[in-house]
Amino acid sequence: MCGLEKISMGETGFAENIYYNETHISQLYYLTNELTEKFAGLEGEGADALRDNRIELVRASWHELSISVSDVSLSDEGQYTCSLFTMPVKTSKAYLTVLGVPEKPQISGFSSPVMEGDLMQLTCKTSGSKPAADIRWFKNDKEIKDVKYLKEEDANRKTFTVSSTLDFRVDRSDDGVAVICRVDHESLNATPQVAMQVLEIHYTPSVKIIPSTPFPQEGQSLTLTCESKGKPLPEPVLWTKDGAELPDPDRMVVSGRELNILFLNKTDNGTYRCEATNTIGQSSAEYVLIVHDVPTTLLPTTIIPSLTTAPVTTTVAITTSPSTSASSSSRRDPNSLAGQNGPDHALIGGIVAVVVFVTLCSIFLLGRYLARHKGTYLTNEAKGAEDAPDADTAIINAEGSQVNAEEKKEYFI
């Protein structure tokens, strides 16, 4: 009975294949019959296999004859026969398969930098595999499916060269992304070989203007930030207003990518433009500035009643100064009613109430006074005239109940 030891690469034990690797040795065992043993022989690809310097006798006994084959190569693949010279002669055969370990893969086709929108074509190639290895592509740790590969057989060495080409169009999101080519083969013992290519994509800047406040008001300061991203990094940005240079450099100060406008007024209204440029191209963004008026606060409406006139509506308007408008507006509760924001408004409301009260009292007293002194008044000259009796009667009527109002007479000086 004969047998062939089976070794896995990097291990000692029994396996189906012997791997093509200089650091591993295969061993052939021969069992003999104690009573009838005459000779043990080996028949390999050559009749003089035992004369090969790589073949060495390891162990010989009445039960076993063992030899080893070092520096296994692809030429060692084939059928091996061990014979036991008894009567009759007994033989046993085993087929030795040598696996070709694939070389480390290489990625070609990348030329840095790549422009946004270009078509990228990457090729991954590995040689020396037997049987042919498998190639898989990954981008950002996600496998790319349905990628074809080509295998070419080397007729002399019985190995394969496998290649695969990946085509895709790049954009700015691919910048810095790792593309991985992975080679899987049964000789690698679940440890695949990989090659990695990090992409570098150049693209035009993207520009955005960010204001420091959404509703700028007169007297306030405003900062416009020009946020630009691109590769290569954009050069210092350029600020313009309404297509021309900034009109007031003393109040409009550029600091890096920021435009600071001090003490806003209505003349600052307009379209502000930020331009960013790199070696790939130029981009811009616009911001329309509208300076709002300083807000005013209205007190509650008060209606003053009158006996003979239409209602009079009094409204008191309080205008805050530009220097304090920003701070007061920031502390104002938008849900509170006007006139209930602070002690100044309460004081003004009290003054208005006092004025209304005094006015009502004056109207009331004046009405009573006029009612009490209503009637006919005569002078002394009128009393001494010919119609003196009528005058006396008029005086009596004025002091009486004044029932007959048609008989009243009035005399003037």
Structure tokens at 170: 């790049």
Structure tokens at 83: 């014979």
Residue 316 pLDDT more than 80?
no
Residue 401 pLDDT more than 60?
no
pTM: 0.56
Topology match between the domains 2-99 and 209-289: yes
pLDDT score at 66: 78
Q: Is residue 259 classed exposed, middle or buried when 0-12, 13-18 and 19+ CB atoms within 10 A define those classes?
A: buried
Residue 167 pLDDT more than 90?
yes
Task: Find how far residue 77's CA is from the centre of its chain.
Answer: 58
User: Could you tell me which of 75, 79, 8, 81 has the C-alpha nearest to residue 43?
Assistant: 81
pLDDT score at 86: 76
**What DSSP character marks residue 186?**
G
pLDDT tens per residue, range 12-37 = 223 334 444 433 444 444 443 333 33
Q: Going by DSSP bridges, is the β-strand pair 64-69/26-31 parallel, antiparallel, or unpaired?
A: antiparallel
CATH superfamily of 2-99: Immunoglobulins (2.60.40.10)
Are the CB atoms for 15 and 6 separated by under 8 Å? Answer: yes
pLDDT score at 381: 53
pLDDT band at 297 (very low <50, low <70, confident <90, very high): low
pLDDT tens per residue, range 55-74 = 887 877 766 777 788 888 88
Query: 169 - beta bridge partners?
Result: 119
pLDDT band at 300 (very low <50, low <70, confident <90, very high): low
What is the sign of the dihedral through the CA atoms of 236, 237, 243 and 247? negative
Residue 377's SS3 state is coil
Domain ranges of the chain: 2-99, 106-199, 209-289, 296-357
Q: Regarding the domain delimited by 209-289, which CATH topology (the fold level of the hierarchy) does it fall under?
A: Immunoglobulin-like (2.60.40)
Are the CB atoms for 378 and 394 separated by under 8 Å? Answer: yes
- Whose structure tokens read 């398969």? 97
Structure tokens at 222: 């405003």
Which DSSP string do the residues of 45-105 spell out, in sequence order?
SSTTGGGSTTEEEEEE-SSEEEEEE-S--GGG-EEEEEEE-SSS-EEEEEEE-EEBPPPPP
Task: Find how far residue 286's CA is from the centre of its chain.
Answer: 21
Structure tokens at 327: 């701070």
Among 2.60.40.10, 3.40.50.1820, 1.10.3720.10, 1.10.760.10, name the CATH number for the domain at 106-199. 2.60.40.10
Mean predicted confidence (pLDDT) in 126-131? 91
Are the CB atoms for 120 and 198 separated by under 8 Å? Answer: no
Are the CB atoms for 224 and 209 separated by under 8 Å? Answer: yes
pLDDT score at 303: 55
Residue 247 pLDDT more than 90?
yes
